[in-house]
């Protein structure tokens, strides 16, 4: 009997236990050694061509055999059996001249499977389910079968949709419960299959059927990509709009090799996760060697780790494999559902994912592949020179385009043909097809042509209400089925919106239709509210700039999830021919638009000057023009300014120039690098090249590296400091940047490198200041440094290291969950048999943690590096294979391990129940209640106000300037004989930069003040009319002082009935990442690091300022407080501000409660990574405890009894909690 609520039934079962699929059908068929006659049977005895090998045909000619295979798998423990229809499409059946039999094959196979399932269900009393298997066919939409013609395809999207529709119809009519698109080697093929399925299920015949959809891809090798080149994450993004119940991987690899990719898919996907791997990799004879016991043992570990919801087997597996897997894994809970995708404001994909968080920098859409935007591109297309057109696409990507806009709208161009040919062509160019496409046309047929050729998740540009609601909705529903995001223009039946009121009216109407009627995810909606021309002198145009910015702000506040785009070229059209004015106007306009939420746009990023580089008078004129402050007067002033600028070219060098050029040339090169002077370096290098006739590589390896050698020696001997080193590196990069284009083909800059080092901030972490400093210092010492940036997955780090033949890998992290990822990396390196040294660094790392937790996972080759000053010596010892160094490390780490074991044994950890009896009891009165309860948002916090509260000591620590007692702290550090002068110089430059940052960056904050009470070890937050929220806390189990007291943060909150309260906050500084990146992209690491280090100080000062206001004003429990900043830094105030991840609250998952109660993402745009790092990186969050008896404390180590109790209270497994509390466990989990 059909379950009309099957999806919910399966959700319940998949959440309760691991479920199981069957083994490989082909494996079992082959074991029977069938002949041609067996395949033909009576029905096909006269068929005109051989049919041996057509396994799907056996459902009609040998149904008893197929049924028995199904039953054997079900009896072995399978919950799901798949129909014998892997190749049952007209496309695949053409090989056997059986296209006309497709419907019968699918109906027949489904009925055989249904009979088997019903019989076993009746015997066991347990429900069994039939999956309609839909294979990938033997054609691919994304790859050409012809090497000579990469744009050629031997199948079309519409052909596949028709074939899959026929197959799905037969399967449904045969009675299957589920449809599964499996063994996906080309995501575009899968899109066609799912397009067909969803379209079919909306027809009258099947609309009342509840048919869950399963999707299973296949990665072809250890690169973790499909045959068509997509990563697992990109595949997930491309297909998630079909809302599959279950998504996973199968085939190609064995369980051992597939683990990392299942973990990646599970980390990323919000569906249930399945995997049915092969029985190992194929052997030399095409067979599979993993026994049932071997495979079960591997999948048992998966289950222990909570990786899967559904397990089964593919090639080489038998019912015996399924039985062994079931017996080994059924005692483990399934993978819990989570929704990582919801943390992104936009998800797109090409071959690789493009993920945008709320605080993601402005997304740059490259528009040179647009016949309306590039005369050169149009010329190539008109001349049928698509090869040259592809080169333009490549250049766009190399210049930083994150999305590629394609437009072929021209009366002389066949848009459908051109779009199809070009998309097919760039699909074969990995450097281009890695990014998402923006399919841009006013002709919807052209848009569909582009969507039918792209396996990634695209943007459609665009639709509007211009032709009315019906046309708008028809296109919107089709775009949803293709799985694209959509740009919505602010047009309706009356025409273009040219005022603020019209813009918001049309956007609101469009949003409601798309979200509430078409069912489109709001994060897939991108509004373009029309950037129109200002500065024309016409009064009706004067507010166009201001109205656009106001509209962006309104959309972000009133249309949740929606994004905003806009092209800039129209804005300055009145000043065409005057690039100085146009570029400045674009930069200023974009600054204000992005501040209120514009997410993306079509811009020439390289032509946008930094705000600080725009002459103040011009910037003010641009602002007046944008905000329409002085009408026509401003336009006149802008035009006059343009004339003035033209007259200021070719200024003569000043006296200092003459003094510089009076020096000998070789001295100028050395002095420039050693002293960090970049003003003359390009001119000097050019002159040196012309006079000496040396090859560019010889100049780099000669005088330039000699100067960097001086820098390295001075730094190593303590006579030069980090800020100076980074300035020197900036000059070196500028010199090399000039010489690079001149280096002869076939030669590289790295011929004399000491070694190659791959650096990365690990997955889940976004902090990179320390890593960047290490990279600069190593680069200064002639190491080739490959910096992979932040949020780097394990596979990318290791794949890059193997590809680049790295001598060393260095990983960094700031938050404690990053420590677990470092252990994962070390373990995987050991599993792969790698021997590449692994350097460990970052704020939360330590020699003790490295020795105790990481080193055992990768013995002898894990080395903790505390700061940049040690990195060079460590790297040199490793590259030189210094056996004494490695022996010393081994002895040190073995001693640390031994000491750690002894300390655990010596340390008296008190039982949790005893600790609770000795909890801290507050004796002072409960603080007064806040004046106003609830959440308060500060959308734009004045950063000038927080500057006086900056704590400068950590700033100097970042730059590794440390004075000696009594000159360790600020401002005494300026008196230090060794570092004082450099500290003063750095501080002065920081003050200059700080002046710009407080106006260019944006501070945002949100606080919440709530009624709260303690219950046991936890705190309950109560809000009128809403569910209570529990904040879980931990208690000390090791005495930290003389008093016999064991502290818990909840001790400082009164019990129920006490009328106590607790506060929470999160504050962030936005814009620093983008600003630092701009500096770094020009080789200016010094200013890049300056921006990041100052942004960190600003956000800490913002948190201090906010807490001050809470104490004296917003809560007001200590209105009389008058403390100097030094006293604030010394925590002389009443109450505390503990933060998740810090000593008293080591569990970062507490941030989930803060983000939920404060709606942090919605209110200020700060987000959490899957490892609980905050984005943007300059972010701080925590609690407000007001009680005068409250204090900061160190939790110390906790015992297993508390871990088990904490896990039970949170509803988590002990293993999950042990992972989260790894840094404070007072025992070794594996030994318990």
921, with CB counted inside 10 A (0-12, 13-18, 19+), is: exposed
466, with CB counted inside 10 A (0-12, 13-18, 19+), is: middle
Dihedral sign for Cα 83, 89, 94, 99, please.
positive
Nearest alpha carbon to residue 1230 among 852, 838, 825: 852
Sort strands 1002-1015 and 1018-1023 into parallel, antiparallel or unpaired. antiparallel
Is 863 within 8 Å of 889 (Cβ atoms)? yes
Is 972 within 8 Å of 961 (Cβ atoms)? no
Polymer length in residues for the chain = 1232
- Quote the CA–CA distance of 126 and 750 in Å, as a whole number: 65
Q: CA end-to-end span of the chain, whole Å?
A: 48
Question: Hey, what are 361's tokens?
Answer: 């920098």
What are the backbone dihedrals phi and psi of residue 946, each rounded to the nearest 5 degrees, phi first? -90, -15
Q: How far is CA 35 from the centre of its chain?
A: 52
- Quote the CA–CA distance of 325 and 1036 in Å, as a whole number: 42
**Is 1159 a catalytic site residue?**
no
From the candidates 186, 524, 765, 1085, which is the catalytic residue? 765
- Quote the CA–CA distance of 177 and 179 in Å, as a whole number: 7
Instruction: Reply yes or no: is the peptide bond before residue 743 cis, omega within 30 of 0.
Output: no
Nearest alpha carbon to residue 1110 among 1177, 1182, 1051: 1182
C-alpha distances (whole Å) from 740 to each of 606, 733, 884 are 19, 10, 39
- Quote the CA–CA distance of 191 and 1143 in Å, as a whole number: 49
- Quote the CA–CA distance of 413 and 417 in Å, as a whole number: 8
From the candidates 82, 572, 587, 818, which is the catalytic residue? 818
Instruction: Reply yes or no: is the peptide bond before residue 721 cis, omega within 30 of 0.
Output: no
From the candidates 767, 1061, 1107, 1187, which is the catalytic residue? 767
C-alpha distances (whole Å) from 750 to each of 1, 754, 876, 903 are 69, 9, 17, 47
C-alpha distances (whole Å) from 3 to each of 10, 81, 207, 817 are 10, 17, 14, 43
C-alpha distances (whole Å) from 932 to each of 565, 620, 706, 1159 are 38, 40, 65, 18
What are the backbone dihedrals phi and psi of residue 1027, each rounded to the nearest 5 degrees, phi first? -65, 145
Beta bridge partners of 936: 1007
Question: Hey, what are 281's tokens?
Answer: 């990799």
**Is 818 a catalytic site residue?**
yes
Beta bridge partners of 181: 134, 215
Task: State which H helix or E strand residue 678 sits in.
Answer: none
CA 681-686-692 angle, to 5 degrees, is 120
- Quote the CA–CA distance of 788 and 811 in Å, as a whole number: 10
Nearest alpha carbon to residue 233 among 348, 320, 330: 348
Question: Hey, what are 240's tokens?
Answer: 């998630």
Is 962 within 8 Å of 956 (Cβ atoms)? yes
The DSSP symbol for 867 reads: S
1088, with CB counted inside 10 A (0-12, 13-18, 19+), is: buried
C-alpha distances (whole Å) from 398 to each of 181, 599, 792 are 35, 21, 20
Q: Assign 3-class secondary structure to 967-1022.
A: CCCCCHHHHCCCCHHHHHHHHHHHHHHHHHHHHHCEEEEEEEEEEEEEECCEEEEE
**Is 572 a catalytic site residue?**
no
3-state secondary structure of 31: coil
Query: Active-site residues: which are they?
Result: 765, 767, 818
């Amino acid at each position: 009997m059909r379950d009309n609520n099957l999806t919910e039934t399966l959700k319940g079962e998949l959440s309760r236990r691991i479920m199981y699929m069957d083994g490989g059908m082909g494996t079992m068929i082959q074991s029977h050694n069938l002949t041609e006659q067996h395949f033909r049977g009576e029905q096909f005895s006269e068929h005109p061509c051989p049919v041996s090998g057509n396994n799907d045909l056996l459902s009609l000619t040998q149904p008893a055999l197929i049924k028995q295979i199904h039953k054997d798998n079900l009896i072995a423990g399978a919950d799901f059996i798949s129909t014998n229809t892997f190749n049952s499409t007209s496309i695949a059946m053409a090989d056997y001249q059986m296209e006309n039999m497709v419907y019968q094959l699918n109906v027949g196979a489904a009925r055989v499977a249904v009979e088997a399932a019903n019989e076993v269900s009746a015997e066991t009393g347990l429900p069994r389910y039939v999956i309609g298997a839909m294979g990938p066919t033997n054609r691919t939409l994304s790859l050409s079968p012809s090497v000579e013609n990469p744009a050629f395809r031997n199948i079309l999207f519409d052909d596949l949709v028709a074939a899959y529709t026929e197959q799905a119809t037969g399967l449904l009519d045969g009675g299957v419960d589920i449809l599964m698109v499996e063994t996906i080697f080309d995501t575009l093929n899968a899109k066609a299959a799912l397009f067909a399925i969803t379209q079919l299920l909306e027809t009258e015949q099947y609309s009342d059927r509840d048919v869950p959809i399963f999707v299973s891809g296949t990665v072809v090798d250890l690169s973790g990509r499909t045959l068509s080149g997509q990563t697992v994450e990109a595949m997930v993004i491309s297909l998630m709009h079909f809302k599959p119940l279950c998504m996973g991987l199968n085939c190609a690899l064995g369980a051992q090799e597939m683990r990392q990719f299942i973990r990646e898919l599970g980390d990323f996907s919000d569906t249930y996760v399945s995997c049915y791997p092969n029985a190992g990799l194929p052997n030399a004879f095409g067979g599979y060697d993993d026994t049932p016991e071997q495979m079960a043992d591997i999948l048992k570990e998966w289950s222990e780790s909570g990786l899967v919801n559904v397990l089964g087997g593919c090639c080489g597996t038998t019912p015996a494999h399924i039985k062994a897997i079931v017996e080994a894994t059924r005692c483990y809970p399934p993978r819990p559902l989570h929704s990582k995708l919801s943390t992104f404001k936009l998800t797109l994909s090409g071959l690789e994912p493009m993920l945008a968080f709320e605080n993601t920098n402005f997304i740059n859409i490259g528009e040179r592949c647009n016949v309306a935007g590039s005369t050169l591109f149009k010329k190539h297309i008109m001349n049928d020179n698509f090869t040259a057109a592809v080169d333009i696409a490549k250049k766009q990507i190399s210049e930083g385009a994150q999305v590629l806009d394609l437009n072929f709208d021209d009366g002389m161009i066949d848009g459908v043909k051109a779009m199809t040919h070009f998309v097919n062509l760039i699909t074969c160019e990995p450097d281009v097809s890695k990014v998402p496409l923006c399919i841009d046309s006013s002709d919807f047929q052209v848009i569909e042509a582009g969507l039918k050729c792209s396996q990634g998740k695209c943007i459609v540009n665009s639709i509007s209400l211009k032709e009315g609601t019906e046309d708008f909705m028809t296109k919107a529903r089709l775009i949803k089925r293709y799985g694209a995001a959509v740009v919505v223009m602010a047009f309706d039946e009356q025409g273009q919106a040219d005022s603020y009121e019209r813009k918001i009216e049309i956007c609101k109407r469009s949003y409601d239709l798309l979200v509430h009627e078409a069912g489109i995810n709001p994060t897939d909606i991108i509004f373009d509210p029309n950037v129109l021309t200002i500065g024309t002198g016409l009064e009706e145009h004067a507010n166009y700039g201001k109205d656009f910015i106001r509209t962006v702000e309104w959309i972000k506040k009133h249309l949740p999830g929606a994004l905003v785009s806009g092209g800039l070229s129209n804005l300055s059209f009145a000043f065409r021919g005057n690039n100085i004015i146009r570029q400045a106007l674009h930069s200023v306009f974009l600054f204000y638009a992005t501040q209120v939420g514009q997410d993306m746009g079509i811009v020439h990023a390289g032509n946008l000057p930094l705000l600080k580089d725009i002459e103040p008078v011009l910037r003010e004129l641009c602002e007046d023009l944008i905000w329409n402050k002085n009408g026509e007067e401003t336009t006149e002033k802008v035009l006059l300014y343009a004339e003035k600028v033209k007259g200021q070219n070719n200024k003569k060098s000043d006296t200092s120039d003459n003094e510089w050029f009076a020096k000998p040339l070789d001295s100028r090169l050395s002095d420039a690098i050693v002293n960090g002077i970049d003003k003359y370096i390009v001119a000097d290098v050019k002159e040196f090249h012309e006079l000496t006739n040396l090859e560019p590589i010889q100049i780099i390896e000669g005088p330039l590296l000699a100067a960097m050698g001086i820098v390295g020696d001075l730094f190593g001997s303590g006579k030069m400091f980090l800020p100076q080193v980074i300035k020197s590196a900036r000059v070196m990069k500028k010199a090399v940047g000039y010489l690079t284009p001149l280096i002869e083909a076939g030669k590289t800059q790295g011929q004399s490198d000491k070694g190659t080092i791959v650096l990365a901030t690990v997955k889940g972490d976004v902090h990179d200041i320390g890593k960047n400093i290490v990279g600069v210092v190593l680069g200064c010492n002639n190491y080739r440094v490959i910096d992979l940036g932040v949020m780097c997955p394990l596979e990318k780090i290791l794949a890059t290291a193997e590809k680049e033949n790295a001598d060393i890998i260095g990983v960094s992290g700031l938050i404690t969950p990053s420590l677990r990822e470092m252990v994962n990396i070390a373990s995987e390196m050991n599993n792969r048999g790698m021997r590449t040294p692994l350097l460990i660094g970052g704020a939360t790392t330590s020699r003790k943690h490295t020795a105790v937790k990481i080193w055992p996972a990768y013995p002898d080759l894990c080395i903790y590096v505390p700061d940049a000053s040690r990195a060079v010596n460590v790297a040199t010892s490793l590259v030189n294979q210094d056996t004494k160094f490695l022996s010393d490390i081994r002895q040190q780490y073995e001693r640390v391990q031994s000491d750690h074991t002894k300390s655990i044994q010596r340390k008296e950890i008190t039982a949790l129940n005893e600790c609770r009896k000795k909890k801290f009891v507050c004796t002072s009165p409960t603080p007064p209640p806040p004046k106003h309860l609830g959440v308060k948002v500060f959308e734009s916090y004045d950063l000038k106000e927080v500057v006086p509260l900056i704590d400068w000591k950590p700033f100097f620590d970042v730059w590794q300037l440390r004075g000696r007692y009594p000159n360790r702290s600020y401002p005494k550090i300026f008196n230090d004989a060794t570092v004082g002068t450099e500290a003063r110089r750095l501080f002065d430059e920081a003050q200059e930069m700080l002046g710009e940052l407080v106006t260019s960056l944006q501070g945002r904050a949100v606080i919440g003040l709530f009624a709260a009470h303690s219950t046991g070890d936890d705190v309950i937050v109560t809000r009128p009319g809403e569910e209570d929220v529990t904040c879980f806390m931990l208690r000390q189990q090791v005495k930290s002082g003389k008093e016999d007291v064991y502290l818990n943060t909840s001790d400082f909150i009164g019990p129920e009935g006490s009328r106590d309260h607790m506060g929470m906050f999160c504050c962030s500084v936005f814009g620093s990442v983008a600003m630092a990146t701009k500096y770094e992209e020009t080789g200016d690491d010094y200013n890049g690091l300056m921006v990041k280090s100052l942004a960190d100080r600003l956000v800490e000062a913002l948190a201090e300022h906010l807490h001050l206001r809470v104490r004296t004003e917003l809560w007001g429990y200590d209105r009389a407080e008058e403390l100097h900043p030094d006293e604030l830094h010394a925590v002389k105030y009443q109450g505390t501000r503990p933060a998740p991840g810090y000593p008293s609250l080591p569990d970062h998952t507490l941030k989930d409660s803060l983000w939920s109660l404060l709606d942090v993402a919605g209110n200020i745009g700060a987000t959490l990574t899957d490892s609980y790092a905050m984005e943007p990186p300059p972010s701080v969050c925590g609690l407000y405890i007001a009680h005068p008896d409250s204090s900061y404390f160190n939790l110390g180590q906790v015992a297993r009894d508390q871990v088990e109790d904490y896990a039970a209270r949170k509803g988590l497994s002990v293993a999950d909690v042990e992972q989260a509390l790894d840094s404070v466990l007072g025992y070794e989990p594996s030994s318990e």
